[in-house]
Chain A
Amino acid sequence: MKRLLSGNEALAWGAYHAGARVATAYPGTPSTEILETIARFDDIYAEWSTNEKVAMEVALGACYAGVRTIVSMKHVGLNVAADPFMAASITGVNGGLVLICADDPGTHSSQSEQDNRHYARLAKVPVLEPSDSQEAYDMMAIAFDISEQFDTLVMVRTTTRISHSKSVVDLSRSRPAPTGEVGFPRNVSKYVMLPVNARFRHPLVEERMVKLAGFAETSPLNRVESGERNLGVITSGVAYQYAREVFPDASFLKLGITHPLPRELIRRFAGQVDRLVVIEELDPFLEEGIRAMGVEVTGKDFIPLVGELSTDVVGKGAVSAGILTEPPVPPGITAVADLPKRPPLLCPGCPHTGMFFVLASMGQRLKPPDSGDNPAKKSNLIITGDIGCYTLATYPPLNAMDTTACMGASIGQALGMEKAGIDTNIVAVIGDSTFLHSGITPLVDAVYNEGKITVVILDNGTTAMTGHQEHPGTGVSAQGNKATKVELENVVRGVGVSDVRVVDAFNMKELRAAARSALASPELAVIIVRGACAVGVPQRGEPRVVDAGKCNRCDVCLLIGCPAIQTVDDKVYIDTTLCVGDICTICQQVCPQKAITPVTGETE
């Protein structure tokens, strides 16, 4: 069966056809669709875990119980899961355990670009890198076999381009019937990492790497494609595709296993070519390994360390290094400059907009359309931020975010600023899914250490930024079943916060009152702002319109940053195809002239 599949879909099908019985993940671009695809199969257990650390631990338990298990996350997710990941390396597995780690070269949707192959070197586990969807599908079966044969977690590293691009896949395998019984073979020296046991496991890990290096020498995943001998290219992942297009006649050593390196294969290949180069995205991971072998090689002197590669980037690099005399792709045309940009924005009807407008007004941060400087610099309010759609409130006109570091950081950062002696008001803003992911422990810290900050939890009832995944607060499981709902206000009160308010995200009066009182409070205060994500609301109410007769162009409505509110021919106008209408009405509530009304109101 041939199908057009994204790399993520192909990885999911590959795991399914390899007989995986348990799948865990926390959503994160570009990895999310792996679990979303797996969750659609009935005969596999799939869960959205609270965070990546938990996902890794659940996966570890499942593989100890003897079933093939897949855990997936984005690159920075592995930072969260690093502790159980390192432990998995030491204990090894029972059923096969495959971690899919999706890196984001080019920082399309992340706080950083990091090359997670370094983690594999740290943990001493093998890495496989697919170059297209077909390989992604095929590699999953091999990854599970390696995991079980060598008693190791196997990392499959994809990147945004591999995960999200679609190509044709032949789904040639089928799902095997469950083999063997599920059972945990109690083995204290393998599974209880007391120092006395861990000490004896470490030499086994080193032996494992030697055996894996031998395996990599002859595995068909590492293959030589002989071409002209004047140029030899060692490459992996999506970089293979770009390099193939730029150097169609060169010889290639295409590595599917990038850790540990097949040293003898590399030496033989190097001996067969006049000039050896490595084309790889992000860090010189392969290049440094090869150079350390004493083999003469170049790569990062003409291929950028930073950002994503492409046929253009590799081509330009090749010209600068004198490998090609002219770029393989002639430059295009130069045409019209100064087109309006379309940065991503909070949607029309977004439940985050109202609270940000309140915080921005109270902090005097709103940026009038024609002002040059950024008023947030002079604000009397500090807003520490977190990771989600709401990070977009950083942009004008709201200017409502001062920090964003990693999942859950807002609360700890706010507390740190307070303890450092900042005397202005400090507000931490965090989403519902992010709060459950890693906001609870810093809130406990703020309770315990007598913090006086205000924490705003923006509860839109979903994991919106990654495309509406369920989480413990939604009451629905990854596979669409009813689940026990974790109530945010119970969690917050349960850890010891007494000043807790739950407010309607679209009621400006309530929002203002809650913010004023929390900021004035001498103790830790939590405001839960509740309102459904606009994208998830199927019914649109009556759109709003601007009465041009009443509008005096004070432009307050433009300061909420709603994409439906625009100016055309010097008049403020609401695009009725974008406006969500009755569920929102924030513009109507903030208009001092009462010039914004329901669309039918005009004709009354």
Chain B
Amino acid sequence: MKALMKDPLSLIVIGVAGQGNVVTSYLICNALVREGYLVTFGQSYPPQQRGGSVINYIRVSTEIQTSPIIPEGRADVIVAMEPVEAMRMLNQYGNPDVITMVNPRPIQAIDTTGLGVEYPSLDKIMEDIRGLSARTWVVNATEEAQKLGNAIMANVVLVGALVGSGVLPLDRKSMEPVIAERFPKAVELNMSAFDRGVELVKQ
């Protein structure tokens, strides 16, 4: 079992309900369990409905089974399917060492339809994310997934980018059986989405 860059390592996977970030977490967690790591996965509520923010907490260790909630200010890695959600997590769980990976495609909130706070400018949000993170990876996951034929695979592109970045002790070999188990009818397509994600961070 390879050492983690920090033990325990705390990751947040955030997105808007319907974007598939629970699947992102599922793939990462199960690959880590297969490799023998102790994993705790927690999530925010209520995740059932479309349109709400969905926070997943993933904590990995070689030694201890941790509690399911990441303490405030203690995320090591934030993986965000949406820029405002990345910012929301940095506000609550950020710290000077945090690594952020973000899909820069905004999803409007119903608040922005005249009922509350306006969606901020994307440039400003991306600038703030970069300013608050020790390292920022911008991964055009939705765009790349659309090129592969379906925007829904953005989450798998992001998994590829995360694995490709070397933040987790995982590689293509450890991901393939988990992706095959989750998408038995579309293994090749999802593996190509995964590979695209890996390439994006290598560029």
Contact = CB atoms under 8 A, between A and B. Distances in A.
Interface string A534-560: 010000000000000000000100100
Contacts of A555: 114
A332 B74 contact: yes
Interface in B25-53: 29-30, 33, 38-43, 45-46, 48-53
Contacts of A2: 33
Given A344-B49, A348-B50, A558-B113, A165 B74 contact: no
B72 to A, nearest CB: 5
B148 interface: no
A577 B94 CA distance: 31
Contact of B50 (A132, A241, A340, A347): A347
Interface string B89-122: 0111111100000000000111111111111100
> A-side binding surface: helix, strand, loop or mixed?
loop
B91 A340 contact: no
B129 to A, nearest CB: 9
Nearest to B82: A342
B117 A165 contact: no
A31 interface: no
Interface residues of B, number: 55
B128 interface: yes
Given A4-B33, A345-B49, A465-B48, A339 B69 contact: no
Nearest to A106: B45
B51 A344 contact: yes
A75 B74 CA distance: 32
A335 interface: yes
Nearest to B125: A336
A340 B49 contact: no
Contacts of B120: 336, 338-340
Contact of B48 (A242, A337, A467, A563): A467
Contacts of B119: 340
A244 B68 CA distance: 13
B151 interface: yes
Interface string A297-318: 0000000000000111001000
A584 B21 CA distance: 27
Interface string A572-596: 0001011000000000000000000
Contact of B114 (A109, A161, A558): A558
A561 interface: yes
Contact of A335 (B17, B30, B84, B94): B94
A575 B19 CA distance: 14
Contacts of A565: 113
Q: Nearest 9 A-B pairs (CB), nearest first?
A: A332-B73, A369-B114, A165-B68, A108-B45, A241-B67, A340-B109, A166-B41, A340-B111, A344-B49
14 contacts: A29-B46, A109-B45, A132-B40, A164-B45, A168-B33, A241-B67, A241-B68, A310-B67, A336-B91, A343-B110, A344-B17, A344-B48, A565-B113, A566-B110
Interface of B: 16-17, 29-30, 33, 38-43, 45-46, 48-53, 65-69, 71-74, 84, 87-88, 90-96, 108-120, 125, 128, 132, 151
Interface of A: 2-4, 29, 108-109, 132, 134, 160-161, 164-168, 238, 241-242, 244-245, 310-312, 315, 328-345, 347-348, 369-370, 389, 392, 396-397, 465-467, 535, 555, 558, 561, 563, 565-568, 575, 577-578
Given A332-B92, A338-B117, A341-B116, 8 more contacts: A29-B48, A109-B46, A165-B68, A310-B71, A339-B88, A340-B109, A465-B48, A566-B110
